[in-house]
Amino acid sequence: MTKRLLILEDGTVFTGTAFGADLDVTGEIVFNTGMTGYQESITDQSYNGQILTFTYPLVGNYGINRDDYESILPTCKGVVVREHARRASNWRTQMTLDEFLKAKHIPGIAGIDTRALTKIIRRHGTMKATMASVGDDLDHLKDQLRATVLPTNNVEQVSAKTAYPAPGIGKNIVLVDFGLKHSILREFSKRNCNVTVVSHNITAEEILQLAPDGVMLSNGPGNPEDVPYAAEMIRGIQGKIPIFGICMGHQLFSLANGAKTYKMPFGHRGFNHAVREIATGRIDFTSQNHGYAVERDTLPDCLLVTHEEINDRTVEGVRHRDYPAFSVQFHPDAAPGPHDASYLFDEFLELIDAFKQNQKN
């Protein structure tokens, strides 16, 4: 079996077994605590440019199937696992994880002590890392890693270049694509919505020309402050159209209204994050994938905090006091993860109905 190296920015080196594509890559290394859902995670565009570590010890056992894609062309940099299942056993399986990663040009490394790796990331925070072949000059690789500047145009890399429809017969929704998950489209499809997916750099004027009933701001990768034009667009439509933001959309909605965001030490990436709805005390277990969060102390008076993470009190949801607009940091679409919060899609459609009624009055 071919050996492969995983080199961290702090100088730590892990040696493991190679699978997937035969490539050397560099990216930000992060970890995901989910016990399942590796296909959805790998194809989630919020992992753009990142080397994804799975803390669950066995990955690949049910293979890859046609139903669980969150994007067709995944853009994570690499995959790190404790044990890679070479055989897949599931009636839906179309290919193994190894075959999938080869086809998508993503390298993997197995046999890594992912528990030790996760502890390093938790202690020092997310950092750059390189996956490389054994035999390459180690000192040169370390120097090259330290000198590497990671790209900041993550959203531009993954957003749709041209608009496309997800047809339905119900409400007209414009979905701004900052790196959307297909599960968001599935949730709107369940509710018979007519969705138009548009690029990340659409203007407020262009959205208003489409005359939507509501606007969804999707999830996406990277730092929300790297897409300031999106905040400008949001300011141009809020109050005129109901808005619902998820993950990156939540951060951009908050930035548009004067809040600030910050980079978390190692983020929330997993499917068991407990979130409290402040008004009711309701607890939802949620799917999350974000490395940035909204800074609570900077929230303006016009935004009301609606949800918070139980463990670290991260701001997990806000609602505008004057306009029909709200956002959440977690994924009510789940995929993978619990569906506790899927009711928020219904609340969005109810908000659209209430807005229309108020306009008539």
* 8 Å CB contact between 330 and 341: yes
Range(s) for CATH 3.50.30.20 in the chain?
Answer: 3-150
**Hey, what are 310's tokens?**
């139980």
- pLDDT (average), residues 254-279: 97
Catalytic, out of 200, 290, 307, 331: 331
Residue 247 appears among annotated catalytic residues: yes
Q: Does domain 155-360 have CATH number 3.30.300.20?
A: no
Residue 44 appears among annotated catalytic residues: no
Bridge-based pairing state of the strands 325-328 and 13-20: unpaired
Catalytic, out of 247, 268, 273, 320: 247
Range(s) for CATH 3.40.50.880 in the chain?
Answer: 155-360
Bridge-based pairing state of the strands 13-20 and 107-110: antiparallel
Q: What is the pLDDT of residues 125-181, one digit of tens each?
A: 999 999 999 987 899 999 999 999 999 999 999 999 999 999 999 999 999 999 999
Residue 331 appears among annotated catalytic residues: yes
Binding residues for L-glutamine: 46, 220, 222, 248, 251, 289, 291-292
Q: What is the pLDDT of residues 192-203, one digit of tens each?
A: 999 999 999 999
Catalytic, out of 98, 177, 284, 333: 333
- Fold type of domain 3-150: Glucose Oxidase; domain 1 (3.50.30)
Binding residues: 46, 220, 222, 248, 251, 289, 291-292
* DSSP bridge partners of 108: 19, 79
Predicted TM-score of the model (pTM): 0.96
CA atoms within 13 A on the CB side of 261: 28
